């Protein structure tokens, strides 16, 4: 059987497994096992055991459950209750007013969460009822929350970046730092869109309902100060070289525990719920990574990635054309798979092509995260859409329509880092200390 036949057969097995409801991680293991048995003479059992152990014993991967736990702890404290009260006074003079609490709130929580769905759920829990009560249009409130929720993937710490760093053997700390400027720029683009929308639709924005002095605004925002200090501590320790990403994650958990205790939200129940929530999500990601590692090994034995890379090289695509093709490919893939599955399914095949084209792999990691962000708001499989459907009762496709402007902004951001790669590479180049 030729390369095309082999690839089609393995794809058919993969989609059959996924379509039958088998977990993504087990589906990847099943496809890899079939590939080893059918197309190589290697013993599949020994290779699978060795590969799974190797992927699970990665020191870098220990940062993953720690960052997840940090986000889970803060998700269950009074942070979400206090954040709207702290942000609202600062937004009254900006066109669009309280709609900006979605963007700013998501940007802040993204810096302690790492998960798009958790960011969307936490901020939505506090802003959607408040914005609706004050008369803001539901379509714009829901759309801005859906789009801004994706910042959980880009603003460090990011679970997708950890997964990519492990799979591509790149420094997670440098990936984190590389996401800072693009994350800020994307958040600014989203707020900018809300400003423009408000200027064109002044009648749809309720009048300012809070008037405070500077001192009163600072006092209202006092509950946000510890969280911002926690963000500065975690990211600052990585950027300065004091700590690796794993060590910074441990500091973050310790800080989150202290913050939860001081806020009065740390009970036996919230502690246990946070541990179990982090365990479930970490286990799911670890299983997907284990399946991905075995699939990468199996694909290497079959020679498919090498042949595919050689075929694409034979097309003599320019680097920009390759990136454009990959963008379209990931956007289409994002209609059917979640972000982590997209990364682990494709990385073994895509990386050789990207390296051959001469792209920096840290830069490509940020490009990949940006493109994967679009998958969070594209129906029918968009995690943020599912979260908001559960919170609002609207249909997936209606929420997808509300989110369309933010999808366009993400595509604009992808184009921006292609034209100006320094947006993603300048900060890592300044980074000193350990790579973590």
Q: What is the largest CA-CA distance in the chain?
A: 75
d(CA 288, CA 435): 25
pLDDT confidence of residue 33: 85
Residue 68 lies inside a defined structural domain of this protein = yes
Which residue segment(s) compose the domain that 117 sits in?
Answer: 56-268+303-430
DSSP result, 346-394: HHHHHHHHHHHTT--HHHHHHHHHHHHHHHTTSSSS-HHHHHHHHHH--
Contact 284, 251 (CB under 8 A): no
Average pLDDT over all residues of the chain: 81
Residue 393 lies inside a defined structural domain of this protein = yes
Contact 150, 373 (CB under 8 A): yes
DSSP result, 259-273: HHHHHT---HHHHHH
Q: Which two tokens stand for residue 378?
A: 């594209």
Residue 64 lies inside a defined structural domain of this protein = yes
pLDDT confidence of residue 239: 75
| Burial (0-12, 13-18, 19+ Cβ within 10 Å), 113 | buried
Contact 265, 76 (CB under 8 A): yes
d(CA 214, CA 359): 47
217-275 pLDDT, tens digit per residue, is: 777 777 777 778 888 888 788 777 788 778 888 888 888 888 888 877 788 888 998 89
Handedness of CA 383, 384, 389, 391 (dihedral sign): positive
Q: Which residues contact 402 (CB under 8 A, 6 or more apart)?
A: 139, 140, 142, 143, 146
Going by C-alpha positions, the residue among 237, 274, 215, 267 that lies closest to residue 431 is 237
Alpha carbon 283 to chain centroid, angstroms: 17
Q: Which two tokens stand for residue 406?
A: 């933010």
SS3 201: coil
Residue 349 reports pLDDT greater than 60: yes
pLDDT confidence of residue 198: 92
Residue 285 lies inside a defined structural domain of this protein = no
Using N-to-C axis directions, what is the helix angle for 100-113 and 63-75, rounded to 10°? Answer: 140
120-163 pLDDT, tens digit per residue, is: 877 887 788 888 888 889 899 999 999 998 888 888 888 889 88
Residue 82 lies inside a defined structural domain of this protein = yes
- For residue 204, give Cα distances in angstroms to 96, 139, 207: 9, 11, 9
pLDDT confidence of residue 402: 92
Q: Which residues contact 194 (CB under 8 A, 6 or more apart)?
A: 95, 96, 99, 100, 103, 140, 144
Residue 433 reports pLDDT greater than 60: no
SS3 344: helix
pLDDT confidence of residue 306: 63
pLDDT confidence of residue 58: 67
17-66 pLDDT, tens digit per residue, is: 767 777 777 887 888 888 888 877 777 777 777 777 776 666 667 777 88
pLDDT confidence of residue 191: 94
Q: Per this entry, what is the length of the chain?
A: 436
Using N-to-C axis directions, what is the helix angle for 159-168 and 268-302, rounded to 10°? Answer: 30
Handedness of CA 175, 255, 183, 140 (dihedral sign): positive
320-335 pLDDT, tens digit per residue, is: 888 888 888 888 777 7
pLDDT confidence of residue 313: 65
pLDDT confidence of residue 203: 84
Read off the pLDDT of each residue in 394-420 and give the average, rounded to a whole number. 91
Residue 92 reports pLDDT greater than 70: yes
194-228 pLDDT, tens digit per residue, is: 999 999 988 888 887 667 777 777 777 777 777 78
d(CA 10, CA 348): 15
Count of structural domains, the chain: 1
d(CA 79, CA 91): 18
Residue 261 lies inside a defined structural domain of this protein = yes
- For residue 316, give Cα distances in angstroms to 311, 407, 421: 9, 30, 22
């Amino acid at each position: 059987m030729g390369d095309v036949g082999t690839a089609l057969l393995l794809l058919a097995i993969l989609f059959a497994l996924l379509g039958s409801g088998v977990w993504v991680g087990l589906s990847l293991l099943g496809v890899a096992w079939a590939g080893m048995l059918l197309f190589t003479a290697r013993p599949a059992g020994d290779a699978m055991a060795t590969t799974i152990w190797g992927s699970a014993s990665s020191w870098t991967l220990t940062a993953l459950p720690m960052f997840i736990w940090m986000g889970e702890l803060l998700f269950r404290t009074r942070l979400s209750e206090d954040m709207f009260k702290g942000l609202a006074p600062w937004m009254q003079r900006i066109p669009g007013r309280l709609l900006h609490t979605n963007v700013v709130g998501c940007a802040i929580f993204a810096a302690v969460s790492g998960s798009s769905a958790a960011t969307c759920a936490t901020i939505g829990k506090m802003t959607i009822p408040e914005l609706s009560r004050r008369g803001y249009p539901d379509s714009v409130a829901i759309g801005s929350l859906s789009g801004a929720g994706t910042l959980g993937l880009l603003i460090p710490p990011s679970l997708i970046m950890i997964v990519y760093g492990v799979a591509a053997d790149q420094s997670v700390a440098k990936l984190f730092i590389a996401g800072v400027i693009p994350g800020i720029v994307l958040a600014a683009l989203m707020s900018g869109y809300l400003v423009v929308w408000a200027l064109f639709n002044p009648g749809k924005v309720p009048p300012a309902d809070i008037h405070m002095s500077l001192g009163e605004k600072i006092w209202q925002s006092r509950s946000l100060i510890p969280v911002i200090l926690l963000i500065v501590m975690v990211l600052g320790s990585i950027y300065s070289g004091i700590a690796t990403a794993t060590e910074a994650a441990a500091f973050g958990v310790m800080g989150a525990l202290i913050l939860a205790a001081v806020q009065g939200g740390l009970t036996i129940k919230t502690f246990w719920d946070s541990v179990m929530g982090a365990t479930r999500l970490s286990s799911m990601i670890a299983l997907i990574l284990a399946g991905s590692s075995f699939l990468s090994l199996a694909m290497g034995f079959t020679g498919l990635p090498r042949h595919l890379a050689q075929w694409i090289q034979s097309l003599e695509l320019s680097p920009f054309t390759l990136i454009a093709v990959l963008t379209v490919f990931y956007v289409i893939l994002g209609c059917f798979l979640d972000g982590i599955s997209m990364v682990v399914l494709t990385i073994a095949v895509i990386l050789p092509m990207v390296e051959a084209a001469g792209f920096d792999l840290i830069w490509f990691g940020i490009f990949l995260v940006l493109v994967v962000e679009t998958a969070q708001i594209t129906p029918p499989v968009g995690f943020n859409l599912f979260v908001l459907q559960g919170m609002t009762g609207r249909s997936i496709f209606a929420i997808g329509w509300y989110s369309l402007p933010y999808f366009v902004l993400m595509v604009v951001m992808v184009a921006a880092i292609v034209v100006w790669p320094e947006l993603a590479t300048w900060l890592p180049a300044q980074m000193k200390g350990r790579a973590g």
